[in-house]
Amino acid sequence: MSTAIETLVNRDYQYGFVTDVEADTLPRGLNEETVRAISAKKREPAFLLEWRLKAYRRWLTMKEPHWSNVTYPPIDYQSISYYSAPKSTKPLGSLDDVDPELLRTYEKLGISLTEQKRISGVAVDAIFDSVSVGTTMKAELGELGIIFCSFGEAVQEHPELVRKYLGSVVPYSDNFFAALNAAVFSDGSFCYIPKGVKCPMELSTYFRINSADTGQFERTLIIADEGASVSYLEGCTAPRRDTNQLHAAVVELVALDHASIKYSTVQNWYAGDANGKGGIYNFVTKRGKAAGVRSKISWTQVETGSAITWKYPSVILQGDYSTGEFYSVAVVNNHQQADTGTKMIHIGRDTKSTIISKGISAGHGNNSYRGQVKVLRKAEGARNYTQCDSMLIGNQCGAHTFPYIEVDNNSSVVEHEASTSKIGEDQIFYCKQRGLSAEHAISLIVSGFCKEVFQNLPMEFALEAQQLLGITLEGSVG
Amino acid sequence: MLEIIDLHAGIADREILKGISLTVRAGEVHAIMGPNGSGKSTLAQVLAGHPAYEVTGGSATYDGEDLLALPPEERAQKGIFLAFQYPVEIPGVTNAYFLRAAYNEIRKSKGLDEIDPMDFADLVEERLRLVDMDREMLQRAVNAGFSGGEKKRNEILQMAVLGPRLAILDETDSGLDIDALRVVAHGVNSLRRPDNATIVVTHYQRLLNYIVPDRVHVLAGGRIVKSGGKDLALELEARGYDWLVEAAPAGVAGAAV
């Protein structure tokens, strides 16, 4: 009875199906005309087209970054289509107008957009390829003055807010992928919580890539005005395909005085097959600005999918006494690669940040934590606590830690703890000797390892994340 | 209950057990003693089904069933419990959760429903007293940050909750001070019943002052070189192991039980 921790079996990815809808797709390739075409399709105001063009021109001067600990063949940006929308979707349509085929797709993904079956207490914006197909609970939210809609809709109906905050946290010049996104982003979610309002339900966006050869470039902007608070969830899946697809999203969060934003992600893009063929390149820029006094931004992410993940949800702690948090579980199996972590930039006084990162590597997976803690000269009394744990399953995977700590202030305290452990046969045998199956043992050990992160997820999400983790790692121990 | 005949086993081409024969009946306590490296722990691990060890010959029958053909979790579900010499830590998983998961797996294997959490709490409460453990231990992660003594006690708590038919205690006395030793022995003795059996693996006679064995076997060089009653343990205490190890003729397979 050999239980050598080597055998790797790729478990079926249950979200790998394709929806057959007629799509309005731009031909492959990227030039200024592409940018103009996207902007025209979305009937955007001049300021936005100008911004896109500036971003595009900037992008042309930039080089794809290769400092991360991942490898992949060169991406041909001219072979990607930058816009694809189901033809049946009318812009600004109500949910009643949505193509039933699309509703069925989301049903299959476990997301119900129809009135009766909605998860209570959660409002959903569903993004299909390049466009939003619908947003639920809008009326209920509207009564509180909360704006929750697709980005495209926000551009039409609240251009002043878009203009004020777009690019204020992640400027178009920030990095190669952010510039690309700024040039060609198609849709995404927009959310504004007015002064003093605590959003009474979870807001969530569900991203679905459907068409082949299309990149997904969504942009999410969340603003919590003074004293406001919101909890936001994000989920993602894509069909199983042999080719790699690019997903380069940007998320910007702005929290004003005493406001708080909690942003949770369960990322389950198609990861490629057991041999590493296909899968999503998830190259994402997420950043929050804790702009106001005592504001708070908290990222929680569970990254289980994608062939490659390149993602560093960060917080700029600008307001005095502001707080930044980053809780992360990143899992790689088979040939997945993840280079993920965070940046905490302390600018205001008595700012406080916490980083809890849990990396799990199985199969031939390669997992890197990359984190920066920067305390500026004026950030008196700043504090950071970082805990960075890696777990290895099997002996062909890798775990790496790249912490960068920069402190320009004498009154600050920065703590960094790191550990690496291995799920050994001994741990599994111990559980088995108490009557547990190998699968049960691994899920127990792994959820114990990730406990501090799961505790920070909203409850329904925590369960989903835990199950997802079990599925991702299933078969990683023979 | 357990019948081992001419058992050979080893690790990575190195034979450690070179023909062990042993019969354990319900209600009995057997002590396996012997110098370091004699194969005591290997025997315990092989009986529990540790994947690192390969059985190369002989047989082990448990309640009439081929024990060696069963995966470790089924052995556990059928009532075999190994108190580990080095209990493993599982960070983030509370003792309470782990105990209940194990308890329910064993129930499920018998076709029973999961236990009601309140009933389980009562059961654990009662068993905690047996090993003189504080309730707050249940909320700590399995063995994580436990002292050596706490870990051993925790093994006995698990044993008390799971109620095995055949318990194998692998050097449970090592690293215990005299008070902890008494607590552990008291736990084991309280769990003795006519329908279960215990194998105590130990280097020292000390534990056998508290857990009185029916049979004592001396293991040396992967074989049982002598078996006897509880007095054998006292004799070993006085004379050490050398006289037995030297007296054992090389090449004897499966010394008498």
Condensed to tens digits (0 to 9), the pLDDT of residues A341-400 reads 999 999 999 999 999 999 888 888 888 899 999 999 999 999 999 999 998 888 888 888
Q: CATH number of the domain at B2-92+164-247, please?
A: 3.40.50.300
Q: What is the number of other CB atoms lying within 10 angstroms of the CB of residue A429?
A: 24
What number of C-beta contacts closer than 8 Å exist between A and B? 81
Residue-range domain boundaries for chain A? 16-421
Residue-range domain boundaries for chain B? 2-92+164-247
* Of A463 and B38, the one with more pLDDT: B38
Q: Is the pLDDT of residue B78 over 80?
A: yes
CB–CB contact B93 A440 (8 Å)? no
Q: Is the pLDDT of residue A434 over 70?
A: yes
Helix, strand or coil for residue A203? Answer: strand
* Of B105 and B237, the one with more pLDDT: B105
Q: Is the pLDDT of residue A108 over 70?
A: no
In the block, tokens 């010499």 appear at: B85
Q: Is the pLDDT of residue B130 over 50?
A: yes
CA B105, chain centre distance (Å): 20
Q: What is the pLDDT of residue A119?
A: 53
The CA distance from B125 to B146, in Å, is 20
**A270, A240 contact by CB (below 8 A):** yes
Q: What is the pLDDT of residue A178?
A: 95
A433 touches chain B (CB under 8 A): yes
Helix, strand or coil for residue A153? Answer: helix
Q: In this structure, what token pair is assigned to residue A150?
A: 């697709």
Q: What's the mean per-residue pLDDT of chain A?
A: 83
* Residue A67 burial class via C-beta count within 10 angstroms: exposed 0-12, middle 13-18, buried 19 and up: exposed
End-to-end CA distance of chain B: 15
CB–CB contact A433 B71 (8 Å)? no
B82 touches chain A (CB under 8 A): yes
CB–CB contact A427 B88 (8 Å)? yes
ipTM attached to this prediction = 0.93
Q: Is the pLDDT of residue A73 over 90?
A: no
CB–CB contact A448 B158 (8 Å)? no
Q: Is the pTM of this model over 0.90?
A: no
Name the closest residue on chain B to residue A453, using Cα atoms.
B92
CB–CB contact A427 B90 (8 Å)? yes
Q: What is the pLDDT of residue A92?
A: 44
**Parallel, antiparallel, or unpaired: how do β-strands A352-362 and A323-332 relate?**
parallel
A interface mutation test: which of B47, B74, B90 has the most A CBs within 10 A? B90
Please state the rounded mean pLDDT for residues A304-321. 92
Model confidence band, residue A456 (pLDDT cutoffs 50, 70, 90)? confident
Q: What is the pLDDT of residue A335?
A: 85
User: Using CA of residue A26, residue A27, residue A31, residue A37, what is the dihedral sign?
Assistant: negative
Q: What is the pLDDT of residue B227?
A: 93
Closest Cβ–Cβ partner in B84, B105, B141 for A435: B105
The CA distance from B37 to B221, in Å, is 7
Give residue-wise pLDDT tens across range A231-249: 988 876 666 666 777 888 9
Model confidence band, residue A273 (pLDDT cutoffs 50, 70, 90)? confident
B interface mutation test: which of A360, A419, A427, A432 has the most B CBs within 10 A? A432
The CA distance from B195 to A332, in Å, is 48
Q: Is the pLDDT of residue A20 over 80?
A: no
Q: Is the pLDDT of residue B45 over 50?
A: yes
Name the closest residue on chain A to residue B99, using Cα atoms.
A434
CB–CB contact A435 B77 (8 Å)? yes
CB–CB contact B84 A432 (8 Å)? no
Lowest mean pLDDT among A19-23, A185-189, A230-234, B3-7: A19-23
Q: In terms of residues, how long is chain B?
A: 257
B91 touches chain A (CB under 8 A): yes
B163 touches chain A (CB under 8 A): no
The CA distance from B35 to A95, in Å, is 77
Q: Is the pLDDT of residue A226 over 80?
A: yes
B106 CA to chain A: closest CA distance, Å? 6
B165 touches chain A (CB under 8 A): no
B88 CA to chain A: closest CA distance, Å? 6
Residue at B30: amino acid letter: H
Q: What's the mean per-residue pLDDT of chain B?
A: 89
In the block, tokens 């940006």 appear at: A77
Give residue-wise pLDDT tens across range A90-104: 544 456 666 666 667
**A272, A305 contact by CB (below 8 A):** no
- What DSSP line would sit under A66-122, residue for residue? --SS---PPP-GGGSB--EEETTPPTT--GGGS-HHHHHHHHHTT---STTTPPTTE
Q: What is the pLDDT of residue B252?
A: 44
* Of A109 and B216, the one with more pLDDT: B216
Q: What is the pLDDT of residue B80?
A: 97
Q: What is the pLDDT of residue B163?
A: 92
CB–CB contact B71 A1 (8 Å)? yes
* Long-range contacts formed by A20-23: CB under 8 A, 24+ apart: A20/A101, A21/A86, A21/A87, A21/A88, A21/A99, A21/A101, A21/A102, A21/A210, A22/A86, A22/A87, A22/A88, A23/A84, A23/A85, A23/A86, A23/A87, A23/A129, A23/A210, A23/A211
In chain B, the percentage of residues whose pLDDT exceeds 90 is: 65
B48 touches chain A (CB under 8 A): yes
